[in-house]
Amino acid sequence: MNAQVKPQRKRRDGQATRERLIQATVEILSREGLGAVSTARVARDAGIVQSGFYAHFASLEECV
């Protein structure tokens, strides 16, 4: 069997999503402090699923 492997493609809006994640983090930090920041919260506020957060950052600390 010769299985074809599809090349992975980055979405064109990847940089925009990363910026939305950063903006969401800044807004949460400024309104509620560090204790309110979580990957789930940042992702939700940026309009993506939590697992999508890790496509842009290796950890929450990297984003903060």
Whether residue 8 is contained in a domain is answered as no
Distance CA 14, CA 36 (A): 25
Whether residue 36 is contained in a domain is answered as yes
Measured from the Cβ of residue 57, the count of other Cβ atoms closer than 10 Å reads 17
pLDDT at 8 exceeding the cut of 50: no
Q: Specify the number of domains making up the chain.
A: 1
Please report which residue ranges of 1-64 form alpha helices under DSSP H.
14-32, 39-46, 50-53, 60-63
Per the prediction, the chain carries an average pLDDT of 87
Whether residue 56 is contained in a domain is answered as yes
What range does the domain containing 20 cover?
A: 14-63
Q: Per-residue confidence at 27, pLDDT binned at 50, 70, 90? A: very high
Whether residue 9 is contained in a domain is answered as no
* In contact, 64 and 25? CB cutoff 8 Å: yes
CATH (domain of 33): 1.10.10.60
pTM of this prediction? 0.78
